[in-house]
Amino acid sequence: MNRHRHPLIRSASLGALLALGAALGAAQAPPLRPDTSAQNAPLDSEPEMNERLYESVRLGLEFLAAQQNADGSFGPDTRFSKNVGITGLCALAFMSDGHLPGRGRYGPNVEKALDFVLSQCTETGLIVGGESHGPMYGHGFATLFLGEIYGMGGVEDDARLREALVKAVRLIVQCQNPEGGWRYNPLPEDADVSVTICQIMALRSARNAGIKVPKETIDRAVEYVRLCQNPDGGFRYMSVPGASAWPRSAAGLASLNYAGIYEDEALEKGLTYLHENAPPGGTRQQAHYFYGIYYTAQAMYLAGGDHWRRWWPKARDEIISRQDRGSGSWNDPHAGGPYATAMALIVLQMPKRYLPIFQK
């Protein structure tokens, strides 16, 4: 995929784009509602998105905007308020509705988030700020954000953005461990599936945007992820023996997808595992819900067909049912409201197909 292959740009004339840009630039411009009925529609009689979803998204975006700090980060003054990964995810939630710097009601929020993330870029390429549990999680999500906004052409003067993205990618490549994965710290030592998927998505986004990513890095990452799959189709946390769990199994499947694998026995086994072990309605009280639903949505969406049709309507309604309608937020007991709200909003808006990372 090439840079600037945003769905709005692919299908509109220059005049239409100018008109659209003017409309989106209005201070109170409503979110776009793309016609997605022809792609991956879950049921013949039911669109992927409905009025309940639009209202849920509206409330969630308002909550996120109110949670942004003066420096561009998100959340109250806690251990996660300066986290570059959560800031990147919150910006992606706005971008999932078509908002970019200079475009849309929440364009200024995305721009402030970008300024914050760029301010946390180090000379080594590591993007770090507010991490409490190893910087590579935050680095992966922040790099994904940079790749998506660069690929969507969301910054007029993007030389600084490109330099930061190139350095961030270089760091990921350099700290891949001998097995082919990544771990909490930017060192080529041990690895786990959870951190590895963050880096694979970041690399895929950067490559989509035109940044060079070595093929051998992706090939080795695929080898590592395959090592972590159990006979039941699920994935364990590391390559050493361990039990399957649905959140990391979804991450394992997404890893293969973003490495360019869409048809494979490992995928079919993994999808079957998710349908059986993480059906909508059965995951509500489990730990790591928002992390798991974020990657499960991607695995089902990229699988398409019957997998997506079976999973999406119930999952969509389940996510909406978890929202606090008073505040518009979702909450994760460990990582807080901005993180959970961003994850939920990204999932709910996947059918809009604005983010390049969700396009095959």
pTM of the model: 0.88
Parts of the chain with a pLDDT under 70 = 1-46, 77-79, 130-132, 283-285
Q: How is residue 60 written in tokens? A: 């969630």
Domains of the chain: 51-358 (1.50.10.20)
Q: How is residue 55 written in tokens? A: 């209202």
The closest of 69, 95, 74, 73 to 154, measured between CA atoms, is: 95
Lookup result for tokens 């700020």: 129
pLDDT at 244: 97
- Spacing of C-alpha 56 from chain mean position: 19
Q: Where are the alpha helices (DSSP H) in 186-264?
A: 193-208, 215-227, 246-258
Q: How is residue 343 written in tokens? A: 């994850």
- Phi-psi map region of 285: left, alpha, beta (phi>0 left; psi -120 to 50 alpha): alpha
CA distances in angstroms from 65 to 15, 75, 93, 106, 144, listed in the order given: 31, 10, 10, 8, 20
Structure confidence by residue, pLDDT tens digits, 190-248: 999 999 999 999 999 999 999 999 999 999 999 999 999 999 999 999 999 999 999 99
Cβ–Cβ under 8 Å, residues 148 and 357: yes
pLDDT at 138: 95
The closest of 339, 346, 329, 352 to 60, measured between CA atoms, is: 329
Contacts of 158 (CB under 8 A, 6+ apart): 150
pLDDT at 2: 42
Separation CA 315–CA 254 (nearest Å)? 17
pLDDT at 284: 57
Helix (H) or strand (E) holding 266: helix 265-277
Separation CA 176–CA 230 (nearest Å)? 22
Helix (H) or strand (E) holding 142: helix 135-151
